[in-house]
Structure 1
Amino acid sequence: MNTKVAVWVVRIAFSIVFAWNVMCAVQFICWPSAYIGAYQLQGGGAAAAIQGLGVAFLMWNATYPAFIWKPLRFKVLGVVILVQQAIGLCGELFIASTLDASLQVLSQSIARFVGFDAVGLVIMAVAFHFLRKISSAASA
């Protein structure tokens, strides 16, 4: 694999995760009532809590565009994105491990995020690893 191909593989892998995250953020911000039940929330603040999660998703993804645009120039952002993804996954696993059986709906909602974040972390990490390996071999 040459460097140009590795760059495009990284762009595609990171773009998939970025697009999915932004889609979730927009849905949470624009249609919070659709997700209130999945997180077992109720009351006046429930919609605002879901919207806040959507805003957090957007903040989390602020690093993606520059890295997707120029992965070789902004390698450090690639590392930051991978660390953010790992933190999210670990946090979700921790939260899931603390829930009791009465929160089954919430557990299932968190499990979906765990599945996506785990797959996203793997595809991005593998692509990033190959980019680093190939670009360092090309510069040697």
Structure 2
Amino acid sequence: MAETDVQRQRRSSKSVAWSVRIIATITFFVILYFAIVFISEPAGHLKMFQLSGVPGQAAVRALGVAMVVWLCTYPLVIFNPRTNIKMFFIVLLQQVVTLAGALIIRMGMPAGYATLAGTLNIFILADAICTALLLVTFIWMIVLMMLERHDDKKRAKAEARAAEAAERNAEEAADAEPLEGEYETAPVGELPAGDDSASAPPETKRKPETDPLDPFRLP
């Protein structure tokens, strides 16, 4: 993969991470707001749940406490969703379970509870929007992480092959180099130093010397 594609992929991954941070942060503070309101002023929210009295206030406060417990998984996702991808999955699972639970409660309600039904409809709509956004960003992030991991493996294999080729070339070059003093020959047309046979004049065949008084001398 070209370098520009890798850079583009990394920018996309960072954009997805920031999208997750923004969505999770907005969800966190919205839930935290309702949790604080339900815990601090339960009496002011009895009507929206069609509750009354001390039991109703206790139920509203319990809902606020449950929301606070639910938020404990969000900070790690807001800090770094890529590193804490498993926690991100837990947050998404919480959203899905909450949405499914609210839908089951709403569909099982009998007629005559319009106020409570309206409250549940608001919660269902908010949960559905948040769940959809988190689901899209989660899938997008997983796909990008898989592509990055695939590219890293390809790069590692290419680097390993290049290192092996370089090592083989170095070994072949070392084997091809002669040892010091080996295969030394004199240049063409020159004899090794100390050989004077070429410069010596050719020997001439000399006739044997004979005595002129030798009776066996041929005429």
The verdict on a shared fold, with TM-score over 0.5 as the criterion, is yes
Report if aligned partners of 1:13, 1:127 keep a CA contact under 8 Å in 2. Answer: no
Give the letter for the 1:54 counterpart. Answer: G
Contact 1:10 1:131 in 2 (8 A): no
Q: Give 2:21's match in structure 1, choosing from 3, 6, 11.
A: 11
> Which stretches in structure 1 are left out of the alignment for 5+ residues?
none
CA distance in 2, matches of 1:31, 1:43: 13
Q: Equivalents in 2 of 1:126, 1:35: separation in Å?
A: 33
Q: 1:126 aligns with which of 122, 127, 136?
A: 136
How far residue 49 of structure 1 moved from its aligned partner, in angstroms, is 1.0
Number of residue equivalences: 140
1:113 to 120, 123, 127: 123
Shift of 1:127: 1.3
2:67 pairs with one of 29, 42, 57: 57
**Structure 1 residues 44-99: Cα deviation after superposition (integer angstroms, max 9, x where no partner):** 22111101100000111110101111211111111111111111111111111111
User: Which residue identity does 1:96 align to in structure 2?
Assistant: R
Which structure carries more relative contact order (alpha carbon 8 Å, separation 6+)?
Answer: 1
Q: Identical aligned pairs, as a percentage?
A: 29
Partner SS state of residue 45, structure 1:
helix
> Who is 2:208 aligned against?
none
- Give the aligned partner of residue 44 of structure 1: 54
In the alignment, which residue of structure 1 is the partner of 2:105? Answer: 95
Counterpart residue identity of residue 79, structure 1 = F
Tell me how far apart the structure 2 counterparts of residues 94 and 8 of structure 1 sit (CA, whole Å): 33
Using structure 2 for the length normalisation, give the TM-score: 0.62
Once the two structures are TM-superposed, the CA of residue 22 in structure 1 deviates from its matched residue by 1.0
1 CA distance for matches of 2:147 and 2:22? 22
> By how many angstroms is 1:17 displaced?
1.3
Counterpart pick for 1:31 among 16, 19, 41: 41
Bigger CA radius of gyration: 2
TM-score using structure 1 length: 0.94
The two structures, once aligned, show a CA RMSD in angstroms of 1.1
Q: Tell me the CA shift for residue 136 of structure 1.
A: 2.1
- Which runs of 5 or more structure 2 residues have no equivalent in the other structure? 1-10, 151-219
Amino acid in structure 1 at the alignment position of 2:31: N
